Amino acid sequence: MKGAIHLPQSISGKNVIITGANSGIGLEAAKVLAGKGFHIVMAVRSKTKGTTACKEILALHPNAAVEIKLLDVADLASVRSFADEILRDYDALDLLINNAGVMMPPYSKTKDGFEMQFGSNHLGHFALTALLYPLLNRTPESRIVTTGSLAHNRGTIDFDNLDGANGYKAKKFYNQSKLANMLFALELDRRLKEHGSRTISVICHPGVSATNIFKIGKKDAPLFLRNLANKYYLQPPELGALATVHAATDPGLTGGEYIGPDGPGRRKGYPALETPHPSALDEEVAKRLWQVSEELTGIRFDFGD
């Protein structure tokens, strides 16, 4: 059947961390993976919301192994604390899904002083992945999945204004953060291969999902417009999550792939291989972004050099 996800049979008991697993794409992916035997670590900012989401998963899969751990990717101290806990409590990490993020908020900063979207969507996950890499590297055939967006097509990395101090437009900075996700994930896979690691890095995007807030101006869109959008333009989160599940589990992927919906405009549909926008393939920009990310976070990847 078109779009069916055929998961390997040997995944029972494998450990997966999903950031932002309490809602939207993260929650829907967690439901699928929990039902297939993964041990789910829900990395969430709110214990209350995490508990509610966990109950949804267990209602579908009563025997699922699900754990809630607090993580705020907009706070490097929280990222370090979370990673320390994982490194202390787990002897293997098969899958890290970098999914959490924010979308077009008013201008604000993370606890570490970064522009909120760049800090949350990119820098927090850069730091998290670096801190967890030693455990991923020790786990055979482990995988890192980063959630991208079609918005990367319109993004540029403004290295002279990463903090928004010289002007801020929410959409522009969202596009920048999603391009940063793409550049990081692809550069990560190149470096993993360069150092002979069996860990791979894969990117996915959900198309245009109904989890995104659909607004016109400052007012909620009229109901009939929202209904039309849901029917013809948006796809439900459970369908959007298929790209994540595919990126996380398809045994045929070798790293560096970009997975998204196969429908018109790549807005909705079933998982398929895509080609990133040329801006995401600029290796010089990717290398500079990597260096800047290390400098801003104070965290480096240990590839064993």
**Is 115 within 8 Å of 164 (Cβ atoms)?**
yes
Is residue 303 included in any domain, yes or no?
no
Question: Greater confidence, 14 or 265?
Answer: 14
Tally the domains of the chain: 1
- Pick the more confident residue, 221 or 169: 169
Catalytic residue flag (residue 174): yes
Give the integer Cα–Cα distance in Å for 175 and 253.
26
Residue 20's nearest CA partner among 251, 211, 300, 271 is: 211
> 107, 133, 168, 174: which is the annotated catalytic residue?
174
Residue 184 CA to its chain's centroid (Å): 11
- The answer to which of 83-97, 170-184, 191-205, 261-275 has the lowest mean pLDDT is 261-275
Q: Residue 22 is part of a domain; what is its CATH number?
A: 3.40.50.720
Residue 20 lies in a domain: yes
Model pTM greater than 0.85?
A: yes
DSSP conformational letter for 98: E
How much is the pLDDT for 202? 98
Average pLDDT over residues 239-267: 86
Residue 17, φ and ψ in degrees, nearest 5: -105, 130
The reply to whether 111 falls in a domain is yes
Is residue 6 assigned to a domain? no
Judge whether 304 lies within some domain.
no
Across 172-176, 215-219, 253-257, least confident range = 215-219
> Does residue 7 fall inside a structural domain?
no
User: What is the reported pLDDT for 92?
Assistant: 97
Residue 19 has phi, psi (to 5 degrees) of -80, 145
pLDDT band at 13 (very low <50, low <70, confident <90, very high): confident
Let me know if residue 4 belongs to a domain.
Answer: no
Confidence of residue 304 (pLDDT cuts 50, 70, 90): confident
Residue 181 reports pLDDT greater than 50: yes
Closest CA relative to residue 244, chosen from 71, 50, 38, 86: 38
Residue 146 and residue 140: Cα distance in Å, rounded? 19
Strand-strand pairing, 258-261 and 271-273: antiparallel
* Interval 90-138: pLDDT, tens: 999 999 999 999 999 999 999 999 999 999 999 999 999 999 999 999 9
pLDDT tens column, 267-285: 666 888 999 999 999 999 9
Domain extent, residue 112, equals 15-297
| 291: in domain | yes
